[in-house]
Amino acid sequence: MNEPLPPSAPPSIHTPPPGARFMNGLRWVLFALLVVLAISSTVGYALSRRPATNPTKHGAATVTYQCPMHPSYTSDRPGECPICGMTLEPVTIGAQGQTQAAGEPEGDVPGLTSVHVTPDRQQLIGVRFARVERSPLGGELELVGFVTPDESALERVQIRVSGWVRRLYVNQTGQAVKTGQPLLTIYSPELFQTEQEFLIEQGGVADSMGHGPPSGAAAQRLRLLQVPDEEIQRLQRERKAVTELPLRSPVDGTVLERGVVEGQYVGADTPLLTVADLTRVWVMADLYEMDFTRVKVGDRARFTADALVGRAFDARVQFVYPTVSNETRTLKARLALDNRDGALRPGMYGRVRVLGRAAMALSVPSEAVVNTGEHSYVFVAHAGGNFEPRLVWTGMPEGDRVQVLRGLAEGDTVVASSTFLMDSESRLKAAVAGLGAQPALRAPEAP
């Protein structure tokens, strides 16, 4: 008879399930691989951040040579650019394709910093370059001028007595008159009485018939009252005082001012008429403060009036006035022009081109200079598409160029167009760098 089998013992709770040992070993292997990968990446990053002792022998950076004026041309050896002949400058090209000239300055303009613009982007935004060179400046200066009467040829018709205007022969200003032509007649009781005294005084004088100049107190008084000599000679000859004294034109000219009308009472200080000889006129040119030193007495000049197309008048600077107008901040330079044909009329406007003394000076295109009112600066182009903002001090302008007194040297290359875009990017880069800067730590103060 067979005996029953004893019941099997229950499984222990510490016995691992099937396959547990394999999974545990796999877990340790994966952990070890992750540790190795982390260490290798850290070491690789540290090696990449370490500067290369010889860039030409590493794959991360190489040295090439590039033309500052034509960034598209590069060479692996020093020399000259075959396009413009400029000396090639060394450029370091990094692993990301960016270029940076060795020892590139950041610029000295407050609020700006140097920027890098690739050749493709330069072409896209239309960057043009210009060289700082010596050119003749101060040779020509164009000013605005207007025609005025010659002040030395003005004649004022006036008499030093009071009275009434009886007849006026000049009907309007601008009327041409001849020498000796009657302009008006004036009645003056004071003058009539003086003429009577003259006749009484000359009654017993031997020269009363017109032989020799009249003499005596009355004759002297007539001269002091500005009575014309021909009227005194008429009195001496005809021995008759008149109630109306005619005043005649002293020169051939044009009546510019008429201050009286018929029947008007005038005093000794009343200006009656002004006559100008316009056979010679002046041209007054406005000279701005920045151009004061460029115009001298004796400089050759040429005046062209807008109303006289195709005609020019050559002259020389006759006088430069010493005072500056408070309203326009200009002073006047004067030319004297022959006008015997009467082509030039007072009040005409035109242009005065002064041919001064040209001198060689450093200059750049005017559009290359950025003027903020406080500073003037340019963007100097370096090799590899790097542009440095640099302060400059400018002098006299000449056409489309401006003189450079300080800040640049002959042969430097500056940006001649798209300076606004360069300025905007430089300011943005400087602002971002300023925001990212950390404040310096300060040692705690002793209590």
Choose one of 226, 242, 271: the last residue of a domain. 271
- Looking at the structure, tell me whether residues 251 and 285 fall in a common domain: no
- Looking at the structure, tell me whether residues 266 and 296 fall in a common domain: no
Three-state DSSP at 129 gives strand
- Looking at the structure, tell me whether residues 220 and 246 fall in a common domain: yes
Choose one of 245, 271, 297: the last residue of a domain. 271
| Residue 288: CATH number of its domain | 2.40.30.170
Look at residue 343 and tell me if it is in a domain: yes
User: So what's the pLDDT on residue 216?
Assistant: 76
User: So what's the pLDDT on residue 16?
Assistant: 61
- Looking at the structure, tell me whether residues 144 and 287 fall in a common domain: yes
Look at residue 286 and tell me if it is in a domain: yes
- Looking at the structure, tell me whether residues 365 and 313 fall in a common domain: no
The mean pLDDT of 137-162, rounded to a whole number, is 88
The mean pLDDT of 253-281, rounded to a whole number, is 91
pTM comes to 0.56
* pLDDT greater than 60 at residue 41: no
The mean pLDDT of 273-294, rounded to a whole number, is 90
The mean pLDDT of 257-277, rounded to a whole number, is 91
Q: Would you place residue 19 in the very low, low, confident or very high pLDDT band (cuts 50, 70, 90)?
A: low
- Looking at the structure, tell me whether residues 196 and 146 fall in a common domain: no
- Looking at the structure, tell me whether residues 83 and 166 fall in a common domain: no
- Looking at the structure, tell me whether residues 165 and 240 fall in a common domain: yes
Look at residue 17 and tell me if it is in a domain: no
211 is in which domain, residue-wise?
A: 159-271
Choose one of 241, 271, 301: the last residue of a domain. 271
User: So what's the pLDDT on residue 96?
Assistant: 40
More confident residue, 357 or 281: 281
How far is 98 from 93, CA to CA, in rounded Å?
6
Sign of CA dihedral 100, 106, 109, 112: positive
* pLDDT greater than 50 at residue 429: yes
How far is 382 from 101, CA to CA, in rounded Å?
7
Look at residue 18 and tell me if it is in a domain: no
User: So what's the pLDDT on residue 336?
Assistant: 95
Q: Would you place residue 15 in the very low, low, confident or very high pLDDT band (cuts 50, 70, 90)?
A: low
Of 7-21, 45-59, 69-83, 394-408, the range with the lowest mean pLDDT is 45-59
User: Which residues have a Cβ under 8 Å from the Cβ of 300 and sit 6 or more positions away?
Assistant: 314, 316, 354, 355
Look at residue 50 and tell me if it is in a domain: no
- Looking at the structure, tell me whether residues 176 and 265 fall in a common domain: yes
103-111, Cβ contacts within 8 angstroms, sequence gap of 24 or more: 104/382, 104/386, 104/388, 105/388, 106/388, 107/388, 107/389, 107/390, 107/426, 108/389, 108/390, 108/391, 109/375, 109/377, 109/389, 109/390, 109/391, 110/375, 111/427, 111/430
- Looking at the structure, tell me whether residues 217 and 267 fall in a common domain: yes
- Looking at the structure, tell me whether residues 80 and 66 fall in a common domain: yes
Q: Residue 153 has which token pair?
A: 């040829």
Q: Residue 207 has which token pair?
A: 């020269």
Q: Provide the domain count of the chain.
A: 4
- Looking at the structure, tell me whether residues 187 and 260 fall in a common domain: yes
* DSSP at 72: T
Best CA proximity match to 151, nearest among 251, 280, 250:
280
| Residue 122: CATH number of its domain | 2.40.420.20
